[in-house]
Amino acid sequence: MKFFLILVVVLAGIWLWRSNRQADPKLRQQNTKAAAPPLDMVRCALCEVHVPSVDAVAGEKGVYCCIDHLHRAES
């Protein structure tokens, strides 16, 4: 009976170790997927705040962080 109990504990340990090893690559893949790709940053010509280029507003004299700064700088 004692031998059977030890065998069950060892098998459970091996099963847990194997399931943890299989889960690791999945976790790493999720972490790399969760990381956002780097964004191009541009500097506002008025207040010099850096904003992502997708959020920047392009004007005739440069790019701005918002439409308000575009109006203030170019009017």
Q: Which of 42, 56, 65, 70 binds Zn ion (CB under 5 A)?
A: 65
Please report, for residues 1, 26, 34, 38, 52, the alpha-carbon distance to residue 64 in angstroms, rounded to integers and kept in the order given.
Answer: 77, 41, 29, 20, 11
Q: Does 46 bind Zn ion (CB under 5 A)?
A: yes
Q: Does 69 bind Zn ion (CB under 5 A)?
A: yes
Comparing C-alpha atoms, which of 25, 58, 22 is closest to residue 43? 58
Q: Does 42 bind Zn ion (CB under 5 A)?
A: no
Q: Does 70 bind Zn ion (CB under 5 A)?
A: no
Cβ-based nearer residue to Zn ion, 14 or 49: 49
Q: Does 16 bind Zn ion (CB under 5 A)?
A: no
Is the CB of residue 41 less than 8 Å from the CB of residue 53? yes
- Positions touching Zn ion (CB under 5 A) are 44, 46-47, 65, 69
